[in-house]
Structure 1
């Protein structure tokens, strides 16, 4: 799969051990790091090789010979492939549990919850931010130091085969899929394409006799698991058939959940008051319970970890402004996450509610129909103010009062007619830049 010119992987790994910091951005070159000169459609970091060395890098890895300036330059066939190979070689030296996390929605929140729980007992390393693609996963692996006891690797995908490829690099010993839904349909082609690609994690766990944490009440996930017949499965969910049984107690707007193991009765219920909003996060919390218990944490340690987690990065994040309470959930959006967010705002108790929704990107040929479904669902809730923003929503502007083509137009409308005293759901794909709306809410 990978090929290195002028230096075999063992020699490169030795240099990495002596300089165990990897950089791909010349704006932040740590002293003594190895700089990998990646290329993209609009950039070629080979051109910055000399600058990286001058700024403090010990070595640079390049794939264009004319940018080799001295013997600190390592010439390879392909820089990205070399980065991936080095990461996999490092992974093979690790003897720790590696947890792979993927899914259409909730994977970053779940990863953070797992980290919060497992950190109560273990030196844990988890993917930073959303470095979950063919570059981010290798960078995550290469950041794992010798003292780490458990690693959590988030894996994202927007086209067929990507999760299988990331598994071949990260080689997870166990893992979970949060859910499967309609997202990135341009790349996957269909919902079945989504299931096939996410299911590549199940394929890897089956092939390596790994452990699966399964949301046992999700019909798509259980069907996917049955097709493969994975030997080691820990089930979590809401019904009594699961190993971990949970229940959403309140969501107004922060979640309080209860949980117990299958072997315990109602008297053994644990009550956890979280800093999360969104009823859809209940199963993500239960996933963290299942993982924590499997790795030997006490119920008390699990609960402390769950209650310590506070969401950031505009994922299910509650912000109190001078005039409103805003549920900021505009890091990403797709058909399934939109539906879940709308279900959540519907059950929240508030004297006044408003919903402001922005376009869902990468929906392919299903874009019109899926935006139409979102409009109908939002209208069925019956809130005090309902605003749709973006070109895809604007195509259907005849069915409601407030449709705006851009976020800037929505801002102007809210300045003319302010939203006040409301609990507001703010949901859109990242490209809509909905953080700008916070200034007028």
Structure 2
């Protein structure tokens, strides 16, 4: 009994001592070796482990394991897991991580470019990284670390040698972009576009515009630089409602500061771009990207690069060198087909753009394989039906729809399968050869299983 009394007195003492730790004190510990981990499977010796919680996990229970694997400190929010002085007890681990990232941002005096949008934000982020890296030590969000956990982790990965950072911001509810801006404090920003995605959380297309527009609100309030796709009526409307002070416009009409023209998209994109102020200097760049919808993402990277002082040759070199990965507008040549692998994500806007692109491409034979879009809310049925109807005007040898949402709109002029496994069996029984194939779906459809058949 006496042992337990001493134990709880010791824990109480640790709690008292650690609860008085300020964010500045925690930051000083982070600066000793600025490595952060939230997963015991990826512990880097000397890191600080943040024991986050989720609906199905509680990393507090793995604090001891993190220390055993080499973590220098662990941050927990349950007193029972405070083992010794290496454990920092806070009221909420996630808030502590976010506060640490927010404080770290105040110590950085560099341009931070915030990117959000319904479609294309990851591709644009990668293009920006490729371009800006031609001159600057550039950091860009890794993978899809773009939410309330990912953005803090991204910011804490920005070190003192970084000269410019590109931070991707995702959202599926109101006020999320505002919250992420409060952490990342972008000095520059752009919204790639707005469309029908995450409608369960946003409620409507107007809800999407309101949520994404929180980036514009931040830039206006903090006198930041906005890069605007000047031909997009929705983005123009959103900017006009706020009157951001400093705006750099890019697009395909002569009213923009940087004007582009799509030269070829069959299947890889070649574009020209020029500064409106220098009409005689036209720059041509051939890329490894497919999809005419990516032309504006290429222009966005050129606009940011030019604004930050890069030469046209540096910009073009970055654009040419960028190779898409992770099944985002990626052209994959298999033994028998050419596949436009674009099944990392999907929504009504990106699906329509992908169909426009496959219709534009010159190919002897085309195949369309679409999978369900997730998080479409009450508009799911209508939006899936629209896509089925849209394919009717596209010439293709086979049109294949996969998933329960599409299956509800089946008709005799196409193939419909309720599951990816059923579609895979159909492709095994009736293989596709010699075709240019659009393969697009939400990530949850696991379309990589279909790639094996193509």
What TM-score results when the alignment is normalised by the length of structure 1? Answer: 0.98
User: 2:306 matched to which residue of 1?
Assistant: 293
Contact 2:19-2:89 within 8 A present in 1 as well: yes
| TM-fit CA distance, 1:314 | 0.3
| TM-fit CA distance, 1:121 | 0.4
User: 1:423 matched to which residue of 2?
Assistant: 436
Q: Choose from 365, 386, 395 the match for 2:399.
A: 386
Contact 1:236-1:290 within 8 A present in 2 as well: yes
| TM-fit CA distance, 1:399 | 5.4
| TM-fit CA distance, 1:313 | 0.4
Q: Choose from 339, 345, 348 the match for 1:332.
A: 345
User: 2:87 matched to which residue of 1?
Assistant: 73
> Deviation digits for residues 214-243 of structure 1, max 9, x if unmatched?
000000001100100001000000000000
User: 2:319 matched to which residue of 1?
Assistant: 306
| TM-fit CA distance, 1:100 | 0.1
Taking the TM superposition and a 5 Å limit, the aligned residue runs for 1:32-431 are 32-265=46-279, 267-398=280-411, 400-431=413-444
| Whole-angstrom distance in 1 between the partners of 2:71 and 2:449 | 37
Q: Secondary structure at the match of 1:81?
A: helix
| TM-fit CA distance, 1:269 | 1.2
| TM-fit CA distance, 1:378 | 1.4
State the Cα RMSD in Å: 0.8
| TM-fit CA distance, 1:379 | 1.8
Q: Secondary structure at the match of 1:319?
A: strand
| TM-fit CA distance, 1:380 | 1.2
Contact 2:287-2:319 within 8 A present in 1 as well: yes
Contact 1:6-1:76 within 8 A present in 2 as well: no
| TM-fit CA distance, 1:112 | 0.3
| TM-fit CA distance, 1:7 | 1.2
> Deviation digits for residues 394-438 of structure 1, max 9, x if unmatched?
111135330000010001001111111000000000000001111
| Whole-angstrom distance in 2 between the partners of 1:163 and 1:425 | 32
Q: Secondary structure at the match of 2:340?
A: strand
User: 1:24 matched to which residue of 2?
Assistant: 38
Runs of 4+ in 1 over 6 A off after TM superposition: none
Q: Which structure 1 segments of 5+ residues have no match?
A: none
Contact 1:101-1:178 within 8 A present in 2 as well: yes
Tell me which moved more, 35-44 or 371-380.
371-380
| Whole-angstrom distance in 2 between the partners of 1:394 and 1:183 | 20
> Deviation digits for residues 360-387 of structure 1, max 9, x if unmatched?
0000000000000111111211211100
Q: Secondary structure at the match of 1:397?
A: coil
Tell me which moved more, 244-253 or 392-401.
392-401
What TM-score results when the alignment is normalised by the length of structure 2? Answer: 0.96
| TM-fit CA distance, 1:304 | 0.3
- State the structure with more CA Rg: 2
| TM-fit CA distance, 1:160 | 1.1
| TM-fit CA distance, 1:25 | 0.4
User: 1:6 matched to which residue of 2?
Assistant: 20
Q: Secondary structure at the match of 1:318?
A: strand
Q: Secondary structure at the match of 2:452?
A: helix
Q: Secondary structure at the match of 1:440?
A: coil
Q: 1:399 to 1:367 in 2, by over 3 A?
A: farther
Contact 2:398-2:414 within 8 A present in 1 as well: no
Tell me which moved more, 400-409 or 316-325.
400-409
Taking the TM superposition and a 5 Å limit, the aligned residue runs for 1:425-440 are 425-440=438-453
